Each structure stands twice: as C-alpha cells, then as structure tokens.
Amino acid sequence: MPGTLADVERVISTLTQEILDNERYFGELDAVVGDGDFGYSLARGFEIVQEKWDEFDRTDPGVFVTKIAMAFSARIGGTSGPIWGTAFLRMGGALKGDAEFTGDDVVRGLRAAAEGIKARGKAELGDKTLLDSLVPATDALEQALADGASPKQAMRAFAETARSSADATIDMQAMRGRASYTGERSIGSVDAGATAIAVLAEKLAETWPED
C-alpha cells in the first residue's frame, strides 16, 4: 500500500511530540561530552512545527516535509539546525512531486538525508554521529522491504537496528562536533544524535498502524 500525505503527517506529528517529550533526556546525553544544548535546540525548533502545524503547504508529501524543514531549521541554533534541516530537506526532495510514495522512496529519501548530513557536517560513518545509527537502520529497512516485510515489520527492523547501532557508539571516539574536543574522553558514552534517532525510530515502530 503506497504512503500518502496522511502517513507523513502522522510521522511528523509523532516525531515532534517525541522530541518535545525528550528535551531533557537528549540534553543530558549531550552534556556528557558536549555542550548540553542538543535537546533544547531541537525542542525549540519543533515547537515551531507544532505551533504552525495548520499553516504548512500540503501540496504533496514532499512539499509538506520541505516546509517543515525550513520552519524548524530557521529556529534551531548550533550545529543541529543545519544538520537536521538538511536531512529533512533531502527527504522532502525525494518525496516531492507525487501524492503517493513507496517504501523504496522512503529508503531513497533516507539515503539522500544521510548524504546531506555527511556533506553538511563533514562526517562519515564511524565518526560517532547520528549517521552511525541512521545509515545502518536504513540498510535494515531496505533489506526488510526487499524480503517482503510489511510496513510495520520493516519499521521494527529499522528501529531495532537504530537502537543497537546507537548503543554501539559507546565504544567510538567522537571525530566531529563539540564532543570531538574531548578526544578519548568521548569513548564510554553514547552519541546523543545517534540515540535520538533510535528513540524516534522506536516510537514510530511502537505507534505504526497494524498491517
């Protein structure tokens, strides 16, 4: 069954609420080796999404995601704004132009988002960033869909891999962002961005409609 604007609205609404609910937790994760503003910055941006929800252009799913991205990235400070804004803009670009989309379109959008993050953040896999959760999770999603999984099963695969990959960042040394300034001291704690991806994916998997 193809995805529609209603599906995108449900996903963005869920992500928004989960980001607002986890503001303190994300900040605490970031404070271990970063400056602790990750949760605050992300929440301030997505407050705008919540406040302006009915105003966004809903011409098609991609346009909607693009307008969302522009709204919150203009509000988020620090490095989070450009990184998360780029990710959502790339996803919006992948979905733009059609009223419906497939699982393959979602994978293509997530791949585009990851490439955008790499370019904007000058980061690669293994640098202890959200890429270390997002990319393996996208691989798992693609494989699940190729194996004939239902949307809910595929989302579970995405979430499970996002979590295990985020947890694995505990053994990595940060090479990008404020955490990189701490050198080897960054080893021993999970990356805040990667863990945020896992938290958001788990909420989506939990709330995904039954097939």
DSSP string, 28-59: HHHHTTS-S-HHHHHHHHHHHHHHTGGGS--S
Rounded CA-CA distance 164/157 in Å is 11
50 CB-contact burial (10 Å; exposed 0-12 / middle 13-18 / buried 19+): middle
pTM: 0.92
Q: What percent of the chain has pLDDT over 90?
A: 73
Looking at residue 176, its pLDDT comes to: 58
Give which of 21, 26, 68 is closest to 45, Cα–Cα. Answer: 68
Looking at residue 184, its pLDDT comes to: 53
Overall average pLDDT of the 103-119 stretch: 96
Query: How many domains in the chain?
Result: 1
Overall average pLDDT of the 89-107 stretch: 95
- Residue 95 pLDDT > 90, yes or no? yes
pLDDT in tens, 121-139: 888 888 889 999 999 999 9
Range of the domain at 45: 5-207
For residue 33 the two structure tokens come to 């080796």
- Residue 90 pLDDT > 70, yes or no? yes
Which CATH number is 97's domain given? Answer: 1.25.40.340
pLDDT in tens, 150-187: 999 999 999 999 999 999 999 887 665 554 544 455 57
pLDDT in tens, 31-69: 887 777 889 999 999 999 999 999 999 999 999 999 999
User: What's 173's DSSP letter?
Assistant: P
* 8 Å CB contact between 123 and 194: no
Higher pLDDT, 210 or 168: 168
